[in-house]
Amino acid sequence: MTSGAIEAPVRPPVCDWDSAPNPTFNAWTTVNLAEVFPGVAWPFDASWYHRWQTKYLRLALRKLEIEDLVPLYPWPIPNFLGFFAGQCAANVGLTTAIVSAYQVDGGSSAVEQFFTADQSGDARAHTAGDVARARRTRERFFRILAQMPTASLSDLKKAQKLTAQVRALELDRCSLPALRRRLEQVEVLAQNNFLHHALTSLGGAEYSSMLGEHLNGAIPGLPGDTVLTLTSGLGQVESARPSEALWELSRWVRGRENLSASFHEMAAEEIQDKLKAPPTSDWAELGTLFQEFIDSYGYRGQTEWMVALPDWEEDPSFPLNSLRNLVSVADSDGPSQLHLAATKQRIEAERYYRERLTGDQRRRYEWLLSKAKQFVRLREFTKANCIRGIRPGRHVVLAIGGHFERQGVLLSAADIFFLFAHEVDAILEGSLNADEAKQRVSRRRAQKQSLEAGYILPDNFVGEPQVLSRGTASVSVSTLSGLGVSPGTATGVARVVQSIDEASAVSLEPGEILVAPFTDAPWTPLFLVAAAVIVETGGLLSHAATVAREFGIPAVVMVKDATRIIQTGQRVTVDGGGGSVKLEG
């Protein structure tokens, strides 16, 4: 099999929102980040995230009492998130330093749960030098973790309240000071929600790592996918809920012959038009049901972390297209059987290991297993809270942009996303004039277009990355390797989805194998009929990997250049435990 490869490193055009070097922690990774921040970021998003994430980090370090161990820096020096060639990377050095601060008995593989495969450099946290202090920090960390289930429910209520408040406002009629106060509310909520998401993510990684180490110590020679199996088919996983709701809605449509007969042949736009002006009572009822879906899950979207882009409430084409495809799927080809199989396999594995442990070993196993399952679920719940919290910010920012457009400061309201967050403040304070603002928008629009020509960040790098560009050289392979994140094997015909736009219109058939450059949680309605998933990026605790385990379908991530080597229609075999993909033809 031959296909395109990646060319040698190149020096890309730089952009205004590229990060300066971090003088303390300067090791970076795009593993797991590409699924939530795909492609080139908008300048507003890059600067806005820096502002409130620095605040959340400062709060986290204060809670752990390790502010002296992890220095933070002002813009444009990056802390957790950095931008290179306009694209996002995570500071694995800073993350490792935080985790190392509470390690007292050997290193921790918690960081490797996120930043794995092809790792250049050591992402494993190490035992702290001051063990007595690390022990106190560790106790503090786990006390904080114990508060997260209650705190996350409070976060949900706060996000729902803020969303309702913003929806109730006539934003175009709000004054600029009032809009600025609303945006500050969003930022406070965002930093709080992300703090809790970061803590629960670390908690999930720690408990999963501890569970694996405990079992390996008690029962040598366990399969490498043991913990994956024990955290599969859990039920009540937040990131799976939109997919499950769409499946149930598709069953409702399928049960009404007048709707289902032509539903699959309609484009998403045509379905949306009929929902707005229903020609029959069935269409009217479907409109009510779909609106209930949007009320619950409309905050999600294919690039939901970026407020510069719309969510499902603003642009429902992806869930409508997914619903259209699901209507034609028979009950027997749906997700329920695979989910039940994953749940059964997990329960059998739990019992198998339980019967081979005794006394204290069994008690610790039961405790670690319950914590690992709890925090896998909680990580998805807190991630959803993060998105719920930031999405009202898009509408507030656009309303501020509308004021700037009417004042002649910007040519359009959406141009505000080419400004930095602190430049928006400067306009509001009168220290940045219209001519300069328009010049910056124009320059950055050109920079973004140039960077979207195909520059790719390496998986891991130190300092300034050697950016890659896609080339036209040919390679011949029969097997691809990656990281297995959802156990099981499946053989089927590949369906390659190259972009977000393609994902919004693809018609995935039952039994096909989805091949994508990245897949965040909102992509997962495509998983409902897929036999397996192959992704070019990701990690053990990536959100899409968690949903794949929930639905019981094999998944392999970090399969480099998969969307260019594998062709739509080609038969492939996916081993989600071993992390391999075999190609036929």
- For 344: left if phi > 0, alpha if psi spans -120 to 50, otherwise beta; the answer is alpha
Distance CA 307, CA 566 (A): 32
**Chain position carrying tokens 């890059």:** 46
∠142-146-147 over CA atoms, to 5°?
120
Superfamily of domain 471-583: Phosphohistidine domain (3.50.30.10)
Identify the bridge partners of residue 495 per DSSP, sorted by sequence position.
514
Residue in 509, 535, 513, 500 with CA at minimum distance from that of residue 584: 513
pLDDT at 314: 95
pLDDT at 477: 78
**Cα separation values, 578 from 110, 343, 459, 479, 522, Å:** 20, 20, 21, 12, 26
Distance CA 432, CA 409 (A): 9
Positive or negative: CA dihedral 359, 365, 368, 369: negative
**Cα separation values, 227 from 238, 340, 498, Å:** 20, 18, 31
**DSSP 8-state secondary structure symbol assigned to residue 308:** T
pLDDT at 11: 66
Amino acid at 417: F
- The angle, 0 to 180 degrees and rounded to 10, between the axes of the packed helices 543-551 and 336-355 is 90
pLDDT at 502: 83
pLDDT at residue 345 is higher than 60: yes
Distance CA 301, CA 318 (A): 8
pLDDT band at 269 (very low <50, low <70, confident <90, very high): very high
- Better pLDDT: 414 or 529: 414
Q: What is the mean pLDDT of residues 478-488?
A: 92
E strand or H helix that includes residue 250: helix 241-254
3-state secondary structure of 200: helix
Q: Contact at 8 Å (CB) between 437 and 69?
A: no
Q: Contact at 8 Å (CB) between 495 and 477?
A: no
Going along 81-218, which residue ranges are E strands?
Answer: 81-84, 87-91
3-state SS, one letter per residue, for 459-513: CEEECCCCEEEEEEEEEECCEEECEEEECCEEEEEEEECCCHHHHCCCCCCCCCE
∠132-133-137 over CA atoms, to 5°?
120
Per-residue pLDDT reduced to its tens digit, 1-34: 444 445 556 666 689 999 999 999 999 988 878 7
The mean pLDDT value of the chain amounts to 90
pLDDT at residue 144 is higher than 80: yes
Per-residue pLDDT reduced to its tens digit, 282-341: 999 999 999 999 999 999 998 899 999 999 999 999 999 999 999 989 988 888 888 899
Length, in residues, of the chain:
585
3-state secondary structure of 102: coil
Distance CA 371, CA 104 (A): 20
* Contact residues for 159 (Cβ-Cβ < 8 A; gap 6+): 189, 193, 385, 388, 389
Number of C-beta neighbours around residue 316 at 10 A: 22
- Spell out the alpha helix ranges (H) of 266-308: 268-276, 281-297
Per-residue pLDDT reduced to its tens digit, 375-430: 999 999 999 999 999 999 999 999 999 999 999 999 999 999 999 999 999 999 99
Per-residue tokens: 109 = 């593989």
pLDDT at 468: 76
3-state secondary structure of 323: helix
3-state secondary structure of 340: helix
pLDDT band at 122 (very low <50, low <70, confident <90, very high): low
**Cα separation values, 42 from 89, 303, 436, 448, Å:** 14, 12, 18, 8
- Better pLDDT: 163 or 108: 163
Per-residue pLDDT reduced to its tens digit, 84-121: 999 999 998 999 899 989 988 766 666 677 666 444 44
Distance CA 373, CA 393 (A): 32
Taking every pair of C-alpha atoms in the chain, what is the biggest distance, in angstroms? 74
Phi then psi for residue 232, to 5 deg, are -105, 155
pLDDT at residue 472 is higher than 50: no
Enter the pTM of the model: 0.92
pLDDT band at 211 (very low <50, low <70, confident <90, very high): very high
Q: What is the mean pLDDT of residues 530-550?
A: 89
Distance CA 356, CA 340 (A): 25
pLDDT at 224: 82
* Contact residues for 144 (Cβ-Cβ < 8 A; gap 6+): 63, 64, 199
3-state secondary structure of 243: helix
- For 9: left if phi > 0, alpha if psi spans -120 to 50, otherwise beta; the answer is beta
Per-residue tokens: 445 = 């629009």
Going along 11-138, which residue ranges are E strands?
Answer: 27-29, 81-84, 87-91
∠260-261-265 over CA atoms, to 5°?
90
Distance CA 200, CA 299 (A): 21
Give percent helix, percent strand, percent coil of the chain, each to the nearest 5.
Answer: 55, 15, 35
Percent of the chain residues past pLDDT 70, beyond the cut: 93
Domain ranges of the chain: 7-205+377-451, 471-583
Q: Contact at 8 Å (CB) between 311 and 304?
A: yes
Per-residue tokens: 566 = 């594998």
pLDDT at 30: 87
Residue in 484, 430, 456, 314 with CA at minimum distance from that of residue 30: 456
* Contact residues for 313 (Cβ-Cβ < 8 A; gap 6+): 294, 298, 299
**DSSP 8-state secondary structure symbol assigned to residue 19:** P
* Contact residues for 49 (Cβ-Cβ < 8 A; gap 6+): 81
pLDDT at 120: 44
**Cα separation values, 239 from 39, 495, 528, Å:** 22, 23, 13
Distance CA 210, CA 310 (A): 39
pLDDT at 85: 92
pLDDT band at 35 (very low <50, low <70, confident <90, very high): confident
Amino acid at 357: L
